[in-house]
Structure 1
């Protein structure tokens, strides 16, 4: 078995996911670039390799069970284990003017679609990769969340949390809750799992609106992916520290 640590980053062909892959690669990790689109995936792999990263493509649609199973089998062949899983793939879902998702007019089907990727996709990928993660001496799982997941902040009228987003924001709250349940289940093991908030990052996901660069957005996830043994688990972090639930 290779001594080089291996990481899988979902949704890694662009934006924050790409920068997480790049940052882990710069630290010496072999990085699986998980993405649905073959052209974008292979372009990202080529770009990472040109920068000196040991990267390989992982065809992966987090909403499709067979795709996830195939990805786990590919990682088994490529590395024999997995040291880091970053569940970065996510969708915003359709919004109205000003990014609003109005709960009073929201199509329940939209909520279902967003949760399928942002929550169920994370469950599907994490559970498929667990046998490989358990072979690592120090397995780390990072779920990329959002500050809008914080019920404490959402309920505080003095905090500007942006527009009402009745599909996306609750999906990330759901993801955070699932992260805590995994942490409870992993008690007594060497698996650390945490949620990371990248902040408002200028990518195509946000219409390139936001004060932060993708590199800045990737920093917290990279830190959590490389925590030392005995580090925190079952928590929610941004650059400045812990975010209240």
Structure 2
């Protein structure tokens, strides 16, 4: 029994060392890949992005305000994300855990701000609904999501959709003015939300399937974890899609 336990310990130790070596190789390759990608940008733009990242890191409590301001100035770009990623991978290679955590959070926050500014009304609402989830009670989350949808989407019976603002449906009295061009640009219809979210679901499912059928390399463990996380988030999106489809006023 003792010899068997020792052999198992030795095997576990060798496995951990092998995984650590593989991770070091992966980090080095990722860092070189990012470095090569940065060479595709003008050096002046790269330097500008690096200065902005340095300022964001040093901004402390003002970081949220700086990120929003950078977005307003159109400085939140794929290049900026690449520069943050470069510093993140370097910190990982040097095993600087606090720096890794801070840079990872910064990357996620900047990426979120970029996506939020580029997202369609449907995707902005979807993100808002997902953020309502506190990670514990799915039933309560879906109840809140349904309540938010009722506020976000206009009622869909025909007269409500066609009637102008201020028109009383019960008495059929009220102003009937010509619609102002662009007056309803911000209105999000439930059917448009359903259509766009359903398309997103199909695209993500295709991505997951393509990863599952390909050969898994030395990064197999990390890939599986990413796939599991993506599947879990996809299920949340599907749950919201079902609520939207079944929504009644």
TM value normalised by structure 2: 0.27
- Structure number with the higher helix fraction is 2
Which has more radius of gyration? 2
- Structure number with the higher strand fraction is 1
